[in-house]
Amino acid sequence: MKIAVLVSGQGSILEALIRERVPIALVAGDRECRALEAAENAGIPTELVERGDFGASFDRHEYTERLMHVLKTYGIELVAMAGFMTFLSEEFFENFGGRVLNTHPSLLPRFKGDHAVRDALESGAQETGCTIHIATEKLDEGQIIAQETVPIHEGDTVDALHERIKQAERRLYPRILKDIVSGELALPRKEDIIKSDN
Ligand code: GAR
């Protein structure tokens, strides 16, 4: 199974996937970032599919087409988002038919969006966590595959809490991906994903 990991940032989750020997055929990033360097250092093929425009005129459809073209060139069958911060348009999820996974730093369905860690901290909750789920065209929705709970400590900062959540993500995501590759964990069929989203 040919896996691509999509990244935008630090790449500590990607490094855990590499460490745990998840077979990765390609790491693609939407911007220059440490994660792409980490992949290069590990000898994994990388592609910078640069986004450039972060403003209101960003052409999501055009970007999605460009990224899909690159992934098709590599024959990618499963996409694992690991801190990828560009929201892709619908055709991406149709094309990969439920074979797009994401890790999100909260216990979904709580705290969707880009400020999940801050929102959890500000909510006064005593725990949060991480979620591995099937990514769909609806942000941070899609079937949940696995979750791990993380405590929120008195006096936590966003950074301290996020690091504790990432430790959980670095444990959980490699395990799930390896189980998918080995066939121990079966992903839902595309038809079932579409049904459960409606
Ligand atoms: C992770 O916490 C991941 O869940 C989050 O970005 C971090 C990436 O860390 N992703 C999102 O918030 C996606 N909306 P890393 O760059 O150190 O691997």
Q: What is the mean pLDDT of residues 128-138?
A: 96
Percent of the chain whose predicted confidence (pLDDT) is above 90 = 92
Question: Residue 133 and residue 130: Cα distance in Å, rounded?
Answer: 10
- Give the residue from 130, 126, 129 showing the smallest Cα distance to 150: 129
**8 Å CB contact between 128 and 165:** yes
Which residue CA neighbors atom 8 of ligand 1 most closely?
Answer: 83
Domains of the chain: 3-193 (3.40.50.170)
Question: Helix, strand, or coil here: 40?
Answer: helix
pTM: 0.95
pLDDT higher than 70, residue 110 = yes
- Give the residue from 148, 136, 195 showing the smallest Cα distance to 174: 148
The mean pLDDT value of the chain amounts to 95
Q: What is the mean pLDDT of residues 112-121?
A: 97
Q: Which residues contact ligand 1 via a Cβ below 6 A?
A: 9-14, 35, 82-83, 103-105, 114, 165-166, 169
CB 189: neighbour CB atoms within 10 A? 11
